[in-house]
Amino acid sequence: MNVSPTRANTITRRRVSDKSRAGAQRPTSETDSINSQLSTLNQLLFGIVQGGTFEDLRKQSTQAIVELDFDGYAIGGVSVGEPEEEMMRAVESAEPFLPKDKPRYAMGLGTPPQLLEMIARGMDMFDCVLPTRLARNGTAFTDTGTLNLKNAEFALDKRPIEENCACPACREFSRGYIRHLVKAEEILGLRLITLHNLHFYLELMNRARAEIERGTFDQFRKTFVADYKTRDAMMIE
């Protein structure tokens, strides 16, 4: 059956809206029950904002979720194949309606520049597979972009993955040696890149926090994003 683009768009909007509404109408008694359970983990319950790439549905979903008074709020349905511009717009559509005094969590993000752009748009928390996934493909993150340590150019490189990095990989091993480990299929090579990438991401967030406290975050963000280059196509398993 052929469906006109206008009709297909309407159907998509309705499905996204229904999904958002169903999540927002979760019984508050169930939420209260979860919150009242004793736990040594002191867990927090987050509501998830949906709405696809539709600004009005993002607003509608956010307002409905906020009414349930969760401990924090997550923005879901982003970084699922849509252009980055649409992803940013989805976050911008929801953010103004989120409480200022509760954590905001952008789900499934992202590259280092994306994290800084999300912080600039009011996000506080993130989760992402990229640091470990790309490490398993031999790719390391640095301030100026990614390095594919499988490349021959690093065979005799005696420098650490990144100068002045305090991670175990950079303190003890050179790019050339890590490349040798990866090419020899020694699991240590991938572990070292993983340690570096996780350290890099955590340190980037520490730096962002310090720049916010100094009131210089915007310039830090602009400079970092401008200098960051992805030298090799990111390989996704």
Mean of per-residue pLDDT scores for the chain = 86
Q: Is the peptide bond before 110 cis (omega within 30 degrees of 0)?
A: yes
Residues 86-114: pLDDT tens digits? Answer: 999 999 999 999 999 999 999 998 999 99
d(C-alpha 95, C-alpha 193), whole Å: 34
Domains plus CATH for the chain? Answer: 46-128 (3.20.20.70), 130-230 (no CATH)
Does position 7 have pLDDT exceeding 80, yes or no?
Answer: no
Kindly give the interhelix angle for 187-214 and 175-183, rounded to the nearest 10 degrees. 140
- Looking at residue 46, what is its pLDDT? 93
> pLDDT at position 24, please?
55
pLDDT value at position 206? Answer: 97
> Among residues 71, 75, 77, 73, which one has the least CA distance to residue 31?
71
For the segment 50-57, the average pLDDT, to the nearest whole number, is 90
- Are 153 and 237 spatial neighbours (Cβ–Cβ below 8 Å)? no
**Which percentage of the chain shows pLDDT scores above 90?**
71
Q: Is the pLDDT of residue 16 over 90?
A: no
- pTM for the predicted model, two decimal places: 0.83
* Over residues 153-166, mean pLDDT: 97
Q: Which residue has the higher pLDDT, 231 or 199?
A: 199
Q: Which residues pair with 185 in a beta bridge?
A: none
The kind and range of the H/E element at 125 are strand 125-126
124, pLDDT greater than 70:
yes
CB 103 within 8 A of CB 74: no
Residue 234 phi/psi, 5° resolution?
-70, 125
* Average pLDDT estimate for 15-30: 57
Q: Is the pLDDT of residue 131 over 70?
A: yes
Q: With bands split at pLDDT 50, 70 and 90, how would you rate the model's confidence at 223?
A: very high
